[in-house]
Structure 1
């Protein structure tokens, strides 16, 4: 696959760097969105996480309204709204209003996971029973609210999602398993596989999605992408330091310990055999290296997934290195205005 046939997009979790604040993290999200739009990235998604000290993005719909005012051409969206935390009507109204602000540029990416621990999720939505059928019903209700197509005689028919607008946000399901691939196919939505969460089974999930896809009014043909952690640098030492930080970050998360990390925090770490096994597994979630190495690996992954769009997630110790990583990728993949 030619790199020029691969589109690049951004998934931004608004990470809070060691020694930085949530306010700085949000400002960096805004700066990165403007920067990557100039570089020619296709879309910019922001995430929903709760009860964590390392990610500032808790309400993507609020952040997207601000990003809409600071971008002009790039698609912007949620990556994603964790649907069980909300009512379908509230999500429909939030994204209809975003469509009014930026018609034809909004992506409504949705996930089934809570984006937090179970206790926090139960407080966000006390009626959440974490049942698969509830999620399916939410997807049906959401589609009806966005299209004003509720079945006659139902309660939903009496309710309109406000504001009434002519355009509908593009709908995507985000998942790290094959189950949501079936849901995305059934409802005729886009499908994004979270390789950065689960590095196993992604190509099979995308294939299942394509095989089972049913065209919808919003999406006549299947559309899929994959999200992955990436760090690109000409500095070999920075690459190795980044890998060390990500190794520790993954292990920390698996143990339920979530704090910002710097290289100084992890450089002298000694790991058990079991931890080293986890590190080898988790390295599959990350592509880090010089521009040529990263480009080769990402192109291989795109071919394995049979997709033409990659969602790039970059979290690193220094913001300038984060900007430079996206810039180097843009140049290697032939995006516009990239050096």
Structure 2
């Protein structure tokens, strides 16, 4: 079993948003040393909770601090941008970290309508052009000439001008049937956001993707993963205590209240209101939270049920040390260094 990481640069109460970016920067080499396969970054806009707004910029800094781990976006919200410009950005990243770049794209706004309009005042509502954008991006990011244009830089002497094997690896991201169908039609890898809505629809999406998959030159077989939120600690009680930060955030999010991740000690002292408690307890029963062994057992069972060989782990904790320790515990439990 391969494990990867999705980091979202989550803002923490009592710290600056710039601290969240710097924490992402230091987490990547930590996860590389633990044996994780990929380190992916999300893109969100005008949110006080998730402050990773420019994954392509942060990936360049991480590329200079790592040597092996694959780096990528999960993802670039393509309707906001020119596919040609995104291809150029990721060709530059591939020059910085040859053969290590994943280009995950999605059609969700990653924010509200106002931020979407501010990012691209000329975009059509509904992202109707997304499939055509993906086709353009697929061609340009491969280094091929397309529509009379080439996205530079191309590779070095060992790389043919249009060698797709050395280009950024394109992924379609989604949490519905739409992304699964598009990825299958184009012969591209697919990543399902399981941590959205606690995995609702994952079985149908993966079944559609595998059943409709059309082999491509670079991907003759379907390649699929899911992103799961998980947190491990030395004891179940400690893990559940740290998870209170996300429990509080989810409860507030459902009520339209957004802010930085709060400290678990403060949440434990205040508790949850009567109207909140049922939803929080239901989420806790489904959560991948506990000791490394408990979390690993749940993750292995989920991967087996969905026939997956790789899982992407997303972990929120108010304590950066607790988050790093969680990734270390899971790496040890899954024997990641031995798998390298």
Deviation at 1:67, TM superposition (A): 0.8
Q: For residues 286 and 108 of structure 2, what CA distance do their matches in structure 1 show?
A: 19
**Residue aligning to 1:153:** none
Whether 2:22 is the aligned partner of 1:23: answer no
TM-score by length of 1: 0.91
**Residue aligning to 1:290:** 291
**Residue aligning to 2:258:** 258
**Residue aligning to 1:49:** 44
**Residue aligning to 1:158:** 148
Give the conservation status (yes or no) of the 8 Å contact 1:104–1:169.
Answer: yes
- Listed as ranges, the matches of 1:9-158 within 5 Å are 9-147=4-142, 157-158=147-148
Q: CA offsets, 1:222-256, max 9 Å, x none? A: 11111111110113332222333222111212222
Taking only aligned residues, the RMSD between alpha carbons, in angstroms, comes to 1.9
Deviation at 1:285, TM superposition (A): 6.5
Give the conservation status (yes or no) of the 8 Å contact 1:196–1:285.
Answer: no
Q: For residues 22 and 47 of structure 2, what CA distance do their matches in structure 1 show?
A: 18
Distance 1:124 1:210, change over 3 A: same
Give the conservation status (yes or no) of the 8 Å contact 2:184–2:214.
Answer: yes
Q: For residues 89 and 285 of structure 1, what CA distance do their matches in structure 2 show?
A: 41
Deviation at 1:129, TM superposition (A): 2.0
Deviation at 1:136, TM superposition (A): 0.9
Q: Residue 147 of structure 2: SS of its match in structure 1?
A: helix
Give the conservation status (yes or no) of the 8 Å contact 1:241–1:263.
Answer: yes
Deviation at 1:132, TM superposition (A): 4.8
Give the conservation status (yes or no) of the 8 Å contact 1:170–1:218.
Answer: no
When structure 1 is superposed on structure 2, of 284-293 and 8-17 the one drifting more is 284-293
Q: For residues 118 and 280 of structure 2, what CA distance do their matches in structure 1 show?
A: 33
Give the conservation status (yes or no) of the 8 Å contact 1:182–1:212.
Answer: yes
Deviation at 1:17, TM superposition (A): 1.6
Give the conservation status (yes or no) of the 8 Å contact 1:235–1:290.
Answer: yes
When structure 1 is superposed on structure 2, of 90-99 and 259-268 the one drifting more is 259-268
**Residue aligning to 1:227:** 227
**Residue aligning to 1:302:** 303
Q: For residues 256 and 19 of structure 2, what CA distance do their matches in structure 1 show?
A: 24
**Residue aligning to 2:163:** none
Deviation at 1:85, TM superposition (A): 1.3
Q: Residue 90 of structure 2: SS of its match in structure 1?
A: helix
Q: CA offsets, 1:168-210, max 9 Å, x none? A: 1111111111210001111111111111113211122112111
**Residue aligning to 1:271:** 273
Where in structure 2 are there 5+ consecutive unaligned residues? 160-165
Q: CA offsets, 1:99-148, max 9 Å, x none? A: 11111100001111111111111110112223353111111111222246
When structure 1 is superposed on structure 2, of 117-126 and 159-168 the one drifting more is 159-168
**Residue aligning to 1:241:** 241
Q: Residue 70 of structure 1: SS of its match in structure 2?
A: coil
Q: Residue 41 of structure 1: SS of its match in structure 2?
A: coil
Q: For residues 236 and 148 of structure 1, what CA distance do their matches in structure 2 show?
A: 49
Number of aligned residues: 327
Q: For residues 180 and 283 of structure 2, what CA distance do their matches in structure 1 show?
A: 23
Give the conservation status (yes or no) of the 8 Å contact 1:181–1:205.
Answer: yes
Q: Residue 311 of structure 1: SS of its match in structure 2?
A: strand
Q: For residues 337 and 30 of structure 1, what CA distance do their matches in structure 2 show?
A: 25
Q: Which aligned runs of 4 or more in structure 1 are off by greater than 4 angstroms?
A: none
Q: For residues 89 and 257 of structure 2, what CA distance do their matches in structure 1 show?
A: 33
